[in-house]
Structure 1
Amino acid sequence: MTYKEARVYLDHVSKYGSVLGLDTIRELLRELQDPQKDLNFIHIAGTNGKGSVLAYTSSVLSEAGYRTGRYISPTVVSYLEKIQVDQIPISEDTFARLTEQTMQAIDRMKAAGKSSPTVFEIETAIAFLYFKEQHCDFVVLECGMGGESDATNIIPSPVCAVFTAVSLDHLGILGNTPEEIARTKSGIIKPGCRVVSAPQDDEVLAVLKYQAARNGCPLHTVNAADIQILREDYLGQSISYQEYQDLPVSLPGTHQAVNATVALEVIAGLKQQGYSIPEDAIRRGFSGVRWFGRFTCLKREPLFFVDGAHNPAAARCLRETLERCFPGKRLILVMGVFKDKDYRNIAAIMAPLAASVHTVTLPDASRSLPGQTLALVMQEYCNENVPVQAEPSIDAAVRSALQEAGKHDVIVAFGSLSYLGAVAESVEHLFMQDL
């Protein structure tokens, strides 16, 4: 099987959608000799910040000399970046080989009359095979959707179960209140693990405390009052937290300071268990993190950022970062979202900052909110006389924003992560042509 054939196979499977539950992936992994049972996991659930906490934690572990796997969902730039070891994505040839091995296991399941796995279950199985083959010391594992019934939760008890900020998202699937969503996500807590959480609303924290106590697990929550932001600009910041002073953090924003301290609490737990993680590895790991789509600067004159603010909580973080880093600057917004997101509240948060707005329809048109519809919603929340334009394409939106922007203006493309890679490609292409 070639890489192209592997992708065609997975694209075909993806047409059948997703199903929450562990029965099918359990059968698939059994056919593959249960590679997950030979790995040490740090399992991350939450609404926002999972990828950033994963990046900080895995970067530090790699710097400390541990062979560290990453499993990321969704990806933004490259499909293969979802499976990495020490920040290096799996190769096309290896991915094709492991896909073929997994496909053969699925054929055996079908012959025995068992259910076929979803594409996410297949990708998860491929990742576990790869991490075992690569002799990873740790795997930092990001939940796909939810927790309890997410395919990633097939793992044995993790070294650490981690919770980033929990808020409303995937309504009706994970639950309809923060408490219900927290109950679903808290299913990754298993006996014997350490539990680490970002600061949470009281109802969410109560759920995590209950589940941790029920499983006999210690719970460690970041104390926001202990976080000091010493310096900050759009390229990053420096923070102090408890015994750590003046730590470099490569991503800006108060929410990234919190994400970094969640990683520090994870690292503290590993050190208590006897793992050697010196402070210089923490400093190198934090300063070296590059995480596309988390307030990523693509260009400096004018400044052009992309950010995956696809729900109200993330939009509030983005707005706070913009207000802190660019007070009084003229802001040009480019926005695209999926239609199942709370786009009206995102608009209410972001539109008042805008000097102008360009909306787009996402590449996956079946899931996208049409750019024309989004433009009408944004117009409702923008200040008077702010122009709002639905653009015919992502290229057109990027071009319009750049042509409109003055040298000292700031452009921000935000919303669903799925289109930010296309924005980056457009920016690069246009500047090769000098617009």
Structure 2
Amino acid sequence: MGEISMNYAEAEEYINQIPRFSKVKSEENVDEILALFGHPEKKFAYIHVAGTNGKGSVCAFLDSMLRMAGKKTGLFTSPHLITTTERMKINGQNISEEAFTEIFEELLHVVKAREKAGHLHPTYFEWLYLMAMLWFGRQGIEYGIIETGLGGRLDATNHIAQPVLTIITSISYDHMEILGSTLTEIAGEKAGILKSGVPVICDGSEPEAMAVIRKRAAILHCPLKVIEPEQVKILLNRGKNIDFLLQDRYDNKSYRIHVQTEAVYQTMNGSLAWMAVKELQKQDSELQQTEDGVFLKGMAHMHWPGRLEELLPGVYVDGAHNVGGIRKLRESIAASFAGRPVWLLFAVASDKDYGEMIRILCTIPELKGVTVTEIENYRRTDLETVASIFRKNWHGYVGHSYNINEAITTSEQQAAKYPNAVLICAGSLYLAGSVIEALQR
């Protein structure tokens, strides 16, 4: 193939120029390209995860437990917060820029040759998925934990015929222009990842969505395990970590689980991952020999950036970017920061229901002030529009700054005026990444 002719920055720039969506269903295109490389995605146990919120966290919990049990894991998630290499990890480590560039170049040769023959160019997400599968297959991973990009039924990740397990996390309203305007329609798209006879673990919080998933699972004869919210009970919330009890109705057992987070929504995500690893134990003789204490240690050690993550004392960032995520963030603020003054730094993408997101945030009891900024992305929402909606729903201080660095500094200074205050940065994963990057500098 010759020498590498691109460096990492050039490879990343090429990928960033690729269109995000295709008007043509291109699942066959992905499968054909992987066939040319010997179907690397079939060389490991493929775990497929869909849902509206919590996918990345469930994947990270499961990855941490499997690694603690001695398994070699590949983790494919999206979006990234700072660098594209975050999207693919082996044993918790991002792909190196060198490996990324090598695989990029190899894929580029194949795609360009196929384009000359009249085939489609992969979309942005498909390209990164293809790269991850090539890397995972060659590195000899045992388990690949694969998060869908958008929906499930038509997602690039859904070409796989026989995953070992599927997981569906919480379902709420997001990407309605693509997935449908009702929970029934959205759930139908997510349930598209179910495969004949393959076990599925599911968050049962939304009855309307569950009805769709149950019906689909019955048609495909998928063993289905549903976790209802009442099965997950918080025992201790120390602010920095949470102990909770998961009642497994299928094995008639209870598990006390410890997680290092302030986010109460992670108790359900952790529960889904726990039930998933219990299902995998039935398929893997080595995992059958693993004691629960090993998995519990994996749960306790899990760290997933941007999920009510404390970056500095009293400064938190959360990737909540839709109505469901904001609702869960508000619940976590009420539970973990009860009585503490709250300052909010907020930015949002234009394709979200930001009016409802803002309305929910304005009901935070201890909210003292808001700083509105804009994400550095073509999907940004004008901050004047956002600020005006805050002012309509809330009568406290609402400031704004077009510069994220300035917005962070201003928010920190304002929050510092209130004893024991917390600064919460939320509304977009793009904002979360920008805040993390700014504070790291």
The two structures share one fold, judged by TM-score above 0.5? yes
Following superposition, the deviation at residue 181 of structure 1 comes to 0.5
Which residue pairs with 1:432 in the alignment? none
Residues 332 and 237 of structure 1: CA distance in aligned 2, closer, same or farther (over 3 Å): same
Following superposition, the deviation at residue 80 of structure 1 comes to 0.5
Following superposition, the deviation at residue 4 of structure 1 comes to 2.2
Which residue pairs with 2:330 in the alignment? 319
Note the residue ranges of structure 1 that are not aligned, 5 or more in a row: 430-435
Query: Using the alignment, how far apart are the partners of 1:117 and 1:347 within structure 2?
Result: 36
Q: Partner amino acid for 2:193? A: I
**Residue 330 of structure 2 corresponds to residue 330 of structure 1:** no
* Equivalent pair of 1:18/1:119 in contact (CA under 8 Å): no
Matches within 5 A, 1:146-165: 146-165=151-170
Is the deviation greater in 306-315 or in 241-250? 241-250
2:273 to 229, 238, 263: 263
SS of 1:173's equivalent?
helix
Which residue pairs with 1:295 in the alignment? 308
**Residue 171 of structure 2 corresponds to residue 166 of structure 1:** yes
Which residue pairs with 1:367 in the alignment? 379
* Equivalent pair of 1:68/1:137 in contact (CA under 8 Å): yes
Following superposition, the deviation at residue 22 of structure 1 comes to 0.8
1:340 to 348, 351, 355: 351
SS of 1:116's equivalent?
coil
Query: Using the alignment, how far apart are the partners of 2:436 and 2:421 within structure 1?
Result: 18
**Residue 415 of structure 2 corresponds to residue 405 of structure 1:** yes
Q: Partner amino acid for 1:387? A: Y
**Residue 123 of structure 2 corresponds to residue 118 of structure 1:** yes
Task: Deviation per CA, 1:50-108: give whole Å up to 9, x if none.
Answer: 01100100100011011010001101132201000110011111111111111111022
Query: Using the alignment, how far apart are the partners of 1:208 and 1:405 within structure 2?
Result: 44
Which residue pairs with 1:433 in the alignment? none
Which residue pairs with 2:250 in the alignment? none
Residues 345 and 124 of structure 1: CA distance in aligned 2, closer, same or farther (over 3 Å): same
Matches within 5 A, 1:220-259: 220-242=225-247, 243-259=253-269
Residues 122 and 362 of structure 1: CA distance in aligned 2, closer, same or farther (over 3 Å): same
Q: Partner amino acid for 1:340? A: D
Task: Deviation per CA, 1:293-346: give whole Å up to 9, x if none.
Answer: 10000111xx11000111111111111111112222211100001000010000
Query: Using the alignment, how far apart are the partners of 1:352 and 1:143 within structure 2?
Result: 32
Residues 182 and 345 of structure 1: CA distance in aligned 2, closer, same or farther (over 3 Å): same
Q: Partner amino acid for 1:419? A: L
Percent of matched pairs sharing the same residue: 31
Query: Using the alignment, how far apart are the partners of 1:235 and 1:20 within structure 2?
Result: 45
Following superposition, the deviation at residue 33 of structure 1 comes to 2.3
TM-score, normalised on structure 1? 0.94
Matches within 5 A, 1:6-25: 6-14=11-19, 21-25=26-30
Query: Using the alignment, how far apart are the partners of 1:15 and 1:54 within structure 2?
Result: 23
* Equivalent pair of 1:43/1:161 in contact (CA under 8 Å): yes
SS of 1:6's equivalent?
helix
Residues 199 and 252 of structure 1: CA distance in aligned 2, closer, same or farther (over 3 Å): farther
Following superposition, the deviation at residue 393 of structure 1 comes to 0.8
1:56 to 43, 55, 61: 61
Query: Using the alignment, how far apart are the partners of 1:267 and 1:15 within structure 2?
Result: 33
Residues 223 and 75 of structure 1: CA distance in aligned 2, closer, same or farther (over 3 Å): same
Q: How many residues align?
A: 424
Q: Partner amino acid for 2:231? A: D
Residues 23 and 274 of structure 1: CA distance in aligned 2, closer, same or farther (over 3 Å): closer
* Equivalent pair of 2:81/2:432 in contact (CA under 8 Å): yes
Query: Using the alignment, how far apart are the partners of 1:57 and 1:244 within structure 2?
Result: 18
Residues 240 and 79 of structure 1: CA distance in aligned 2, closer, same or farther (over 3 Å): same
1:272 to 252, 271, 282: 282
Following superposition, the deviation at residue 419 of structure 1 comes to 1.9
Following superposition, the deviation at residue 111 of structure 1 comes to 2.1
